[in-house]
Amino acid sequence: MKVCPNCQRTYPDDDLNFCLDDGSILTQTGAYNSPPPTVKINQPPTTAPNTSFGNENPGQFSQYQPQGYSMQPPKSSKTWVWVLGILGLAVLICGGGFVGFVAWVGTLDTNTNRNNNNSTISNVTNPTPNDRTSIQTIDLSKWVQGDNQYGITEYKGGEFVMSSKQKGFYYVLIAKKDYKTENATTRVSVRNVDNANTSLGFGLVVHSNPTPLLQDYAFLIDSVKKKYRITYHEPGKENEVTKWTGSTAIKDGTQQNILEVRDADGKMDFYINGTFITSVRNVYGYKDGVAGIYSGDKVNIAFSGFQISR
């Protein structure tokens, strides 16, 4: 028997880990009243048997299903309206460089379009110069997780191909703690393998909490419509800093597009194929945050040339 610590509703199903009313982590009634030892802050995953992966595997992966950017949430809507499923898989690899994988699915409030706190900088005339020569290369061939419940990954022809498992979901992989993006230039090449439509986009994540989608920025493009957008994440919520905006710098079809974020002194300059796009102040990013990649809408996206330079 489990009980919600907030509303005191009880549940006879011991496999249920969160309250269906308010999303709180359920606790066991009786003497044992604490969650499993692998539970992460702000996330209620169910533990699963440990599995080992290669040395360069991403630290975390997450997938969400947003409600839709044009729909207003019900007045009674909360950050987590309902959760479809939770899967946690804890792994300790190579002396604690990163710990575990956490995947979970939920309906999220994505209607908060925040363009305040002076986060967007207009009329920038001196974007950050790209004179950084110390390069870290992230080996995406070691990130392959195969076909799981939430996403599909494979490595072929020198490209890491990733997609969410379902339309309307986005799938995120985050690098381990060594790959920090603060005061660095982070870049990755992306390619829409099938030239497929996507309403969510695909691209580069910077300043990420090592636990995905709790705190980060995402620089996303739609190569079919030749548009880009910038978002940031809070727990259970995706917010737009910059809404979908057209750009002639984006190559269409199945061509490669190089996305780049040059970070310096709390300001991020965004580039597509070497063309400066916009600047955003780092208001919401995680301190010492890491790099990651993002793919939405069951679209196969090929990633390559994933690098961080200083």
Give residue-wise pLDDT tens across range 92-141: 333 333 322 333 332 233 344 444 444 555 445 567 777 888 999 999 99
Considering the domain architecture, whether residues 149 and 290 belong to the same structural domain is answered as: yes
Range of the domain at 14: 1-35
Considering the domain architecture, whether residues 18 and 151 belong to the same structural domain is answered as: no
Q: Which amino acid is at 199?
A: S
We report the CATH number of the domain holding residue 249 as: 2.60.120.560
Considering the domain architecture, whether residues 233 and 129 belong to the same structural domain is answered as: yes
Do the domain assignments include residue 186? yes
Do the domain assignments include residue 100? no
Do the domain assignments include residue 80? no
d(Cα 215, Cα 233) in Å, to the nearest integer? 5
Residue-level pLDDT at 63: 52
DSSP letter at 160 equals E
**CB 32 within 8 Å of CB 73:** no
Q: What is the pTM of this model?
A: 0.67
Do the domain assignments include residue 4? yes
In the chain, the N- to C-terminal Cα span, in Å, equals 53
Considering the domain architecture, whether residues 209 and 297 belong to the same structural domain is answered as: yes
Do the domain assignments include residue 182? yes
Residue-level pLDDT at 44: 35
The count of domains in the chain is 2
Give residue-wise pLDDT tens across range 206-241: 999 999 999 999 999 999 999 999 999 999 899 999
DSSP letter at 105 equals E
Considering the domain architecture, whether residues 148 and 282 belong to the same structural domain is answered as: yes
d(Cα 263, Cα 20) in Å, to the nearest integer? 41
In sequence order, the 6+-apart residues with CB closer than 8 A to the CB of 252 are 195, 223, 224, 226
Phi, psi at 135, each rounded to 5°: -115, 130
